[in-house]
Chains A and B, each alone.
Chain A
Amino acid sequence: MTRYIIQRLLAAIPVLLGVSITVFIILHLVPGDIAYALAGPNATQEELAEVRRVWGLDQPIYLQYFTWLTRALRGDLGRSALQHDPVFTMIMDRFPNTFLLAIASLSISSIVGIFAGVISATRQYSLWDRLMMLLALFGNSMPSFWLGLVLIMIFALWLRVFPSGGMTDVRGAGGLLDLLHHLILPAVTLGTVSMAIVARLVRSTMLEVLRQDYIRTAKAKGLVDRVVVYRHALRNALLPVITVIGLQTGFLMGGAIIVETIFSWPGLGQMMYRAISSRDTPVVMGGVLLLATVFVFVNLVVDICYAFLDPRIKYSN
């Protein structure tokens, strides 16, 4: 198992290097003088000269890359072209909020998706099955930016049961409950597509597992249905689902930009939206680099978890 983990960790290194090269190339796609993009449209000649010196823009391109990579590894992603704050500090200030939103939506999508998938599979072709799969189909076809606005309209503007946006501090007057109150609508919006995907996948894998011989044996032994479904079938059906849930984190990170913007959630996504609107290139690229790195690590963790859960994988390696 240790060997497998080391193998996976080593395999992630070239991917991470590739990710950094891609971000660096994209950074250089900016038309015109890149120093302007990094220093901002209103930069003075001194500021431009400083940016050229710091980023090594007068050096050959491969040296520029190594300068940039070395600085990035030290947590120096440059300064915001508009606010002049260090990009890394800006990212780290907002990352916990995005992490909270991502965890909440991942939990909602996994729990509800798995539960809906199990109900559908155990009652195949029933009214429940059809209803669940219809909802999953709707969820899969719904743009999150539209769903978010519809939820705001219904629950914030008409029914007034949830706030239309913002986030409160858990140490504030409202405490955890107030934070959760603000979290529900953005988390549901962000998690709906993943929920639909998980539900459909759990249904199909469960249907496959429920036809296996060992399930028949478990039933023949006289085990009650609930034990057979949850302890025998679901455990095996969940294996491919874990990979998909891991992949969904990438979707959540992209989606967070849209959902945080709609709900004024003070996370990385909202920061990136503002940076995109004001063409603050260092902030956009810093955010992209960090989120892509997190995505690579999440997939790494999923791969390792997968090997823990399915012994066949570690033996095959």
Chain B
Amino acid sequence: MASSSAIIQQLQRGQRRHHGLAYEAWRMLRRDRVAVGGACVVLIVATLVILAPIIAPYDPVAIIDSSNRLAPIGSPGHPLGTDFLGRDVLSRILWGGRVSLPTGIFPVLLAGLVGTSLGLTAGFFSVRLDNIIMRVLDVIFAFPSLLLAIAIVSALGPGLFNALLAITIVQIPQYARLVRSSVLSLKEQEYVIAARAMGASSLRTVLLHVLPNTLAPILVYGTLETGRTVIFAAGLSFLGLGVEPPTPEWGAMLAEGRSVLSLAPHIATVPGLAIFVVTLSLNLLGDGLRDALDPRLRQA
């Protein structure tokens, strides 16, 4: 029979390991040079677009010199050339990021928040509530997401707000499913049963004991989803359902460059490259986070 001091030591070890999980994940992530590289690129791009009003050489919507249209990359005064109206491509890329990056981030945050709340509610509370929530979300999930977003935006009318709303709606079911499946297994865990037996309210149990343990998969999924959402939002703008001209946005810029592809390929390729670099970096960071937070992979 183990002595009380041995039990206390064991408990302390357990506690230390529990606290150590987040720390160890962080340590692993820091050691993953590819993931850190991805995070650095995202940070650099974010800093550049935040500083756009200071560092952009020109007004992104102003026609600087209408005689200097379609200037190629490396032209004097225009490092990334000019577009079909003579606007500076570098300035438009920097300002465009101020729309494209948030349209990748905000729907993920909002859909994550709503989806997590729905998933927690569906998984933890009554079966009836679970059935109602999940059947409604199943219907949204039954649509190809881009198609549903297109339907919503074309009904509400093109515009950034409607595009953000549509992207958020189509992403909610994925988070709800992810969280619900975690909650269903977590609520049978002994520590959750113990918390309830000690008189903790359902809300307290969900917020303090269940939610923290569902955060790791949400974090990984959300990071990977941010990259996909940047592409998704740019795709809507490419179809003319996002921002209205002349507001610079990467997807819309790409669509503008399509018509002059043979004359000035840089107009379409530069914004596409920006989307690609940001998405790739977010995917690298997401992969790194997944490896760091998934204990099974860590053991392997």
The answer to whether B231 has its CB under 8 Å from any CB of chain A is yes
Question: A1-34, CB under 8 A of B: which get 1 and which 0?
Answer: 0000000000000110011011100110111000
Q: Does B254 contact A (CB under 8 A)?
A: yes
Judging by beta carbons under 8 Å apart, are B147 and A253 in contact?
Answer: yes
* Known contacts A261-B239, A276-B239; A30 and B155 CB within 8 A of each other: yes
Q: Which residues of A contact B280 (CB under 8 A)?
A: 137-138, 141
Q: Which residues of A contact B138 (CB under 8 A)?
A: 15, 18
**Interface hit among A47-55, A77-85, A147-155, A309-317:** A147-155
- Contact check, B139 vs A15: say whether CB atoms are below 8 A apart: yes
Min C-beta distance of A82 to chain B, whole Å:
14
Give the contacts of A168-222 with B (CB-CB under 8 A).
none
In contact, A149 and B261 (Cβ under 8 angstroms): yes
Contact, CB under 8 Å: A29 / B152: yes
Give A142's nearest chain B residue, CB to CB: B276
Query: What's the Cα separation between A92 and B193 when bound, in Å?
Result: 56
- Roughly how many angstroms separate A262 CA and B259 CA in the complex, as a whole number? 10
Q: Mark B250-280, 1 if CB is under 8 A from A, else 0.
A: 0100110110011001001101110110011
The answer to whether B143 touches A140, judged by C-beta atoms less than 8 angstroms apart, is: no
Of A93-101, A110-118, A228-236, A285-293, the segment with at least 4 beta carbons within 8 Å of chain B is A285-293
Query: A106 vs B262: C-alpha distance in the bound complex, in angstroms?
Result: 29
Are B146 and A254 within 8 A (Cβ)? Answer: yes
* Cβ–Cβ contact B152 & A257, under 8 A: no
**A146 engages B276 (CB within 8 Å):** yes
The chain B residue with its CB closest to the CB of A275 is B154
B269 pairs with A150, CB closer than 8 A:
yes
A273–B153 CA distance with the chains assembled, in angstroms: 13
Chain A nearest CB, measured from B149 CB (Å) = 8
Most chain A beta-carbon neighbours within 10 Å: one of B136, B262, B287: B262
A15 to B138 CA separation, bound complex (whole angstroms): 7
Residues A295 and B144 in contact in the complex (CB < 8 Å), given A149-B254, A149-B258: yes
Contact B261–A157 (Cβ < 8 Å): yes
How far in angstroms is the closest Cβ of chain A from B161? 13
CB distance from B162 to the nearest CB of A (A): 10
A250 is an interface residue with CB less than 8 A from chain B? yes
B145 touches A250 (CB 8 A): yes
For chain B, which range describes its interface: under 10, 10 to 19, 20 to 34, or 35 or more residues?
35 or more
Decide if A258 is an interface residue (CB 8 Å cutoff): yes
Q: Which residues of B contact A255 (CB under 8 A)?
A: 146
CA distance A160 to B242 in the complex (A): 33
Contacts A254-B147, A288-B148 given; does A145 touch B235 at CB 8 Å: yes
Instruction: Kindly state whether residue A272 has any CB partner on chain B within 8 Å.
Output: yes
Within 8 Å of chain B (Cβ to Cβ): is A296? yes
Nearest opposing residue in chain B for A293, CB measure: B142
B157 engages A31 (CB within 8 Å): yes
Q: How far is the CA of A250 from the CA of B147 in the complex (A)?
A: 9
Tell me the minimal C-beta distance from A286 to chain B in angstroms. 11
8 A Cβ contacts from B129-146 to A = 135-136, 138-140, 142-146
A273 to B239, CA, bound (A): 7
Q: Which residues of A contact B152 (CB under 8 A)?
A: 26, 29
How far, in Å, is B150 (CB) from chain A's closest CB? 7
Q: Are B262 and A251 in contact, with the CB atoms below 8 A?
A: no
- B163 close to chain A: CB less than 8 A: no
Q: Write out the residue numbers on chain B whose beta carbons fall within 8 Å of the beta carbon of A251.
A: 144, 146
In the assembled complex, the Cα of A254 lies from the Cα of B135 at a distance in Å of: 23
Report Cα–Cα, A18/B136, bound state, in Å: 8
- Are A292 and B143 in touch, CB under 8 angstroms? yes
Tell yes or no: A277 within 8 A of B by CB: yes
Q: Are A27 and B139 in contact (CB under 8 A)?
A: no
User: B143 near A22 (CB under 8 angstroms)?
Assistant: yes
* Across-interface contacts of B227 in A (CB, < 8 A): 141
Q: Which residue of B lies closest to A31 (CB)?
A: B157
Interface residues of A (CB under 8 A from B): 14-15, 18-19, 21-23, 26-27, 29-31, 137-138, 140-146, 149-150, 152-153, 157, 250-251, 253-255, 257-258, 261-262, 272-273, 276-277, 279, 281, 284-285, 288, 291-292, 295-296, 299
Given A146-B276, A258-B239, 17 additional A-B pairs, CB 8 A:
A15-B142, A18-B142, A30-B155, A31-B157, A143-B234, A145-B235, A149-B258, A153-B269, A157-B265, A250-B143, A250-B147, A253-B144, A254-B147, A257-B146, A258-B238, A284-B150, A285-B155
